[in-house]
A and B are shown apart, each in its own frame.
Chain A
Amino acid sequence: TQLLEQSPQFLSIQEGENLTVYCNSSSVFSSLQWYRQEPGEGPVLLVTVVTGGEVKKLKRLTFQFGDARKDSSLHITAAQPGDTGLYLCAGALTGNTPLVFGKGTRLSVIA
């Protein structure tokens, strides 16, 4: 069973559209991270959230950690072709446990 479920698995949108991707679990996480991965490269960290209800913004990207620390969302405003990639959420069950990754959402933004 997958500890972190990401949805949708695939998303293809036009440049300028808004989108939201989700990361859900039945487990409580001490922290959660979002990474972006491009083909042939390793994942690169976008954000870390640690407090339930926390919202962080990174330019056109808005990240939210659920109040119960079981889920998270990533909202992208006015998507651009450069946003294309695999978006991975990763959570730690405790402060000392390694990150567990979801399967990712593969986003394609068409110009």
Chain B
Amino acid sequence: GAGVSQTPSNKVTEKGKYVELRCDPISGHTALYWYRQSLGQGPEFLIYFQGTGAADDSGLPNDRFFAVRPEGSVSTLKIQRTERGDSAVYLCASSLYGSSTGELFFGEGSRLTVL
């Protein structure tokens, strides 16, 4: 597709369950970002990939959160033992090179609800 694609668009799970969120970036974009947006807040940085490697994972809140990008394209954000506080919209964005002045192209997000 032409834009960043995220699946699922909505995920409802129970506390303690494992969740995977997928991001398919724009073809050819080397940089990929995960952000989390809670109600009434701006996006909060989680992790940034340049190619296959995590260039900056300083925003991951704890070791329950993990992300991979094995082939430098699609990325998966994995959340173990989900908690109610993990409920948020998880946004993925990609950019051509990863420069801070480059445009981030966002997907529509995956809305996670933990009951």
**Residue ranges of A at the interface with B (Cβ–Cβ < 8 Å):** 6, 30-31, 33, 35, 40-45, 48, 50, 88, 90, 92, 94-104
A-B contact pairs, 11 of them (CB 8 A): A33-B104, A42-B93, A48-B101, A48-B103, A92-B100, A95-B100, A98-B56, A98-B100, A99-B45, A99-B100, A103-B40
Contact A95 B99 (CB under 8 A): yes
Cross-chain pair count, CB within 8 angstroms: 66
**Residue ranges of B at the interface with A (Cβ–Cβ < 8 Å):** 4, 33, 35, 40-45, 48, 56, 59, 91, 93, 98-101, 103-104, 106-109
Across the interface, which residues of B come within 8 angstroms of A35, CB to CB? 104
Contact A50 B101 (CB under 8 A): yes
Complexed CA–CA distance, A104 and B44 (Å): 12
Complexed CA–CA distance, A35 and B91 (Å): 14
